[in-house]
Structure 1
Amino acid sequence: MNRFRYSAFALAALAAFPTFATKIDQAQSIQEKTNQASAHSQKVIDKSASESIELKASIERLREEVNNLQVYRHHLKTLIDSQNQEMTSLTQQIDEIKETRQGIVPLMYHMIDGLKQIIAQDKPIKLAQRKERVEKLTALMGRADVSEAEKYRRILEAYQIEMDYGNKIATYQDDITTADDVTREADILYVGRLSLIARSLNHQSFWVWDMQSHQWINGDTALLSRINQAFDLANQQIAPTLLDVPVSLTVAEAK
């Protein structure tokens, strides 16, 4: 009897074994699928995390670019404002230049007329050169290829030359016409604008320019040695010394 029970139990166990094995296989399959799903999910998570990091990095780069663009935009605005101010300033300067030019041109013509008057009323020191200089300035005013600034510079240069005549002692050669209406070549000495003396080329006679009569008058031959000394000093042939020469002044200058 007992033997029969054991045999029945064994048969029942053997009969249930295939079903149990199948369930184990199913469990293992489910576990594998679960593991695969977990692995896939982990890959998805990892990928999402990586993409999230890249997205954050991109956002930071974009923010930096936006900040840079804002700085650059501010820089451009500053430049544009500065250029607008410069344009306004240039426009004002152009208007001022037009006004200045309208005023400077008549002034230059007046200055040239002033030079003519100075030369006409002054001692005839290098008279031909001075008149030629004024003629060139007058012609220069009508030239379109010369700037107003250059014309003005030339006129000022001419005035400076006129001023230098009053501060120098020098000699040169030129033709003079004396009071007896004789034209002759002579050595001419000017001591500033105080004295203008002409000496014959043989150093035997001299003439003094008279501002009252506006002509060359004969000099006293007794003063000839002093005159020769003055010429030597002007030509740097002797050491500096005091000069004793005739002076010629207008009535106003004499007072």
Structure 2
Amino acid sequence: MNLIKPCFALLIVSLSTNTVATNFGSAQSIQQSTNASSASSQKQIDKVAENSLVLQKEIEQLEEEIKNLQVYQNHLTALIDSQSKEASNIEAQIKEINNTRRGIVPLMYQMISGLKTFIEQDLPIKREARLERIAKLEKTMIRADVSDAEKYRRILEAYQIELEYGVKLGAYQGKITVGENARNVQILHLGRVSLVARSLDGNTAWSWNQPQKQWQLLDHSIKPELDIAFNVAQKQVTPSLLTLPLSQHVTEVK
């Protein structure tokens, strides 16, 4: 009976030891599992933190881009407003140009018509060339490839040429009609005050009579004065006082 008790006690001790060992092993296993779980969790935490940093950086970049886009949008808005105002100004200018054009085109036709009438009534100084210039202006007016500005410039140029006829001394070779006969002659004009012609041999001279619209024979005694005048016009001698017959009648002012 006494032997049984120690054995029973030993068995209890043995069982207790096994139980402790088993519990310790379980604890170690749990600890290892916990450590592994903690490590895995830490890795996930680190990964989430890293992702959070990346996302934070992307957010900051996006915010910076949004700011830049806002600045650019403001710039475009201001630019569009400016272009709209400029477009309005251009549209107003186009309307004004169209209005001006509607007024300037009739004016140019009137200027050409007036100049043509003046030439037909003026002294016959290079009349053919002057009328030919008018004919070219009339053809130019209906050309689409010539701007209105260029047309106007050419008309003003024609007026300038006509103005110079009235202030210059000039000589040229041309034709005149005396009676029913056409003659090749030398013609000289002193502005629009005097228009004379002489034969190519210089022996016969005529003066234009504007009121009667015809050439009249001049006395031979005026030949020396005419010779001087032609030499001056042709720049063969220095200018001097000239005596020439008048082609225009000057009305005395009382």
TM-score range, shorter chain: 0.7 to 0.9
Partner secondary structure for residue 213 of structure 1? coil
Q: 1:160 to 1:28 in 2, by over 3 A?
A: same
TM-score normalised by L of structure 1 = 0.80
Paired residue for 2:189? 190
Q: Provide, for residues 137-178 of structure 1, a one-character-per-residue CA deviation record: whole Å limited to 9, x for no partner.
A: 334445556544343333222212212222433322111123
Q: Provide, for residues 33-82 of structure 1, a one-character-per-residue CA deviation record: whole Å limited to 9, x for no partner.
A: 22212211211111111111111122122222322332232233233323
Q: 1:252 to 1:60 in 2, by over 3 A?
A: farther
Paired residue for 2:157? 157
Q: Deviation at 1:186?
A: 0.6
Read off the aligned partner of 1:64 and give its amino acid letter: E
Q: Deviation at 1:115?
A: 0.5
TM-score normalised by L of structure 2 = 0.80
Paired residue for 1:244? 242
Distance 2:48 2:252 in 1: 111
Distance 1:15 1:175 in 2: 157
Paired residue for 1:3? none
Q: Deviation at 1:16?
A: 4.1
Q: Is the 8 A contact 2:225 2:244 kept in 1?
A: no
Read off the aligned partner of 1:191 and give its amino acid letter: L
Distance 1:61 1:99 in 2: 56
Paired residue for 1:39? 39
Paired residue for 1:4? none
Paired residue for 2:224? 225
Q: 1:235 to 1:176 in 2, by over 3 A?
A: same
Paired residue for 1:235? 234
Q: Provide, for residues 158-210 of structure 1, a one-character-per-residue CA deviation record: whole Å limited to 9, x for no partner.
A: 212212222433322111123x5542111112233333221211122322323
Q: Deviation at 1:247?
A: 5.2
The farther-off stretch of 134-143 and 194-203 is 134-143
Distance 1:165 1:69 in 2: 70
Paired residue for 1:69? 69
**Aligned ranges for residues 6-155 of structure 1 at < 5 Å?**
16-143=16-143, 146-155=146-155
Q: CA RMSD in A?
A: 3.1
Residue identity (%): 47
